[in-house]
Amino acid sequence: MLGADFILNVVINKERKVAGVFTGHHNHAHLAGCDMVCRHSVFPLYQQVDMAITSGAGYPLHATFCQISKALICAKGILKKRGNDSCYP
* Of residues 7, 79, 86, 5, the one with CA closest to residue 49: 79
Task: Report the predicted TM-score, pTM, of the whole model to 2 decimal places.
Answer: 0.58
pLDDT tens-place string over residues 13-42? 989 899 999 999 999 999 999 999 999 888
| Average model confidence (pLDDT) across the chain | 82
pLDDT for residue 65: 76
Q: Please, are residues 22 and 11 in contact by the beta-carbon 8 Å criterion?
A: yes
pLDDT tens-place string over residues 42-68? 888 889 888 888 777 777 766 677 777
